[in-house]
Structure formats: C-alpha cells, structure tokens
Amino acid sequence: MRNIALSLTMLFGLVASAHALDGDAEAGKSKSVTCAACHGADGNATLAMYPKIAGQHAEYIYKQLKEFKLGLDSGGKEGRYDVAMSPMAAPLSDQDMKDLAAYFASQTTKPGSTPENVVAEGQILYRGGDMERGIPSCQACHGPRGVGQSLAGFPKVSSQHPEYIKAQLEKFRSGDRNNDMNGMMRDIAVKLTDKDIEILSKYMSGLH
C-alpha cells in the first residue's frame, strides 16, 4: 500500500501556494450547450449514468477535462480515456476547459438522498474506514459532508448519483480508471467488497 499519509502531508503543504482557476463562468455558459445533453443545462444530470457536475470544484473539473483529452491523444496510455467524454474534450482549448469548469462550479448541486437501510453501515465505513482491512476513512479526503478539498484535488462526492459513484469505485478497483493522484483511490478501492461499494455509493449520495 502506498503511503497515503505521506502523500497527503506533501499535498497539503502545496495548497497554500495554489491559486484558484482563472476561468470565465459567463463564457463557460455559452460553451456548455453540447454538455447539456448528458449533464443538463446547469450540470445536474438527470440520468444516473452521467455525473452531476454542478457545484463540483472547478479545479477538479478542469483536471478531468484535460485528462479526458490526453486519454484520447495518447490512445488511453495516459490521462483518463472515456468513450464518450474523450472525444468531447478533444477540441477544447485550455481556456475552454477553464471556462466550462468555472461555469459548472458556479451552479448549485441538486441534493441526493441516503436510503435508511445503509445509514448505519455507511456512516461507519465513510467516517472511520476499516483499519483491520487497511481502509482509511473517506472523510479524511472528502470531508465529513462529502464536499472534498478543491485545491487539494479531492472532489465533492455529496449529492452525486449513487450509480455513478458505484461505477467509478469499481473502475478504480479494477484499474480501468487510473488517473487518481499517487494511486490513492486504487489502493483503497481494491480492498472494497461489492457490498462496501454499494453501501458507500448510496451513503455518499445523501451527504450535505
């Protein structure tokens, strides 16, 4: 297992010198027309297979767009290749990506919900992890309310579609998604059972 604690210490040491993304939200709105088909006009995707990107950190959206483009340019050897998103990101300039990121980050995420039958187990795993299995708490990076850390690169997970969260955790576990910083998510996801992923996906959706 990679030294997650060391990675976090080094990362947060750089946060103080980081700067907010310089995108133009108004310009991003005009450029977001093609995004609406999957993500909705305001970034609140109605189909659960697509993520809600409204209210997501601009830095995180920008990073993913860059890596979707890199995934196509490198034939999947680098970045994050996705059959739908990589071709969409391919024609975007760096400023386009910043503007889109700024626009969707400025929108309000529609709240999700957590089924009562997963609250108890989800809370334990999300907040405390499972030390016997070497699983750290999710809130260490994503925060107690699931809002993440923008400058540190940890995404907001609260109110996200549980189906999308589940799909991403499974991709991290299998290695199909490998653009996580220092392999942190892959190291964690590989230790999660199908039941763990099901519970966490539904639990995180209702965090506020």
What SS3 string covers 34-99? HHHHHHCCCCCCCCCCCCCCCCCCHHHHHHHHHHHHHHHHCCCCCCCCCCCHHHHHCCCCHHHHHH
Q: CA 177, CA 73: separation in Å to the nearest integer?
A: 16
CATH topology of domain 22-105: Cytochrome Bc1 Complex; Chain D, domain 2 (1.10.760)
Residue 208's pLDDT is 81
Which amino acid does the sequence have at 108? T
Please check whether residue 55 is in contact with residue 147, taking contact to mean a CB–CB distance below 8 angstroms.
no
Radius of gyration of the chain (CA): 17
Any idea which architecture 111-205 has in CATH?
Orthogonal Bundle (1.10)
Please check whether residue 142 is in contact with residue 154, taking contact to mean a CB–CB distance below 8 angstroms.
yes
CA distances in angstroms from 84 to 50, 67, 71, 121, listed in the order given: 10, 13, 11, 34
Residue 21's pLDDT is 84
Domains 22-105 and 111-205 are alike in CATH topology: yes
Q: Where are the domains of the chain?
A: 22-105, 111-205
Q: Give me the helix-helix angle, 194-205 and 162-174, nearest 10°.
A: 140
Pick out the chain residues at pLDDT < 70: 1-20
Residue 20's pLDDT is 67
84 CB-contact burial (10 Å; exposed 0-12 / middle 13-18 / buried 19+): exposed
pTM: predicted TM-score of the whole model, two decimal places: 0.89
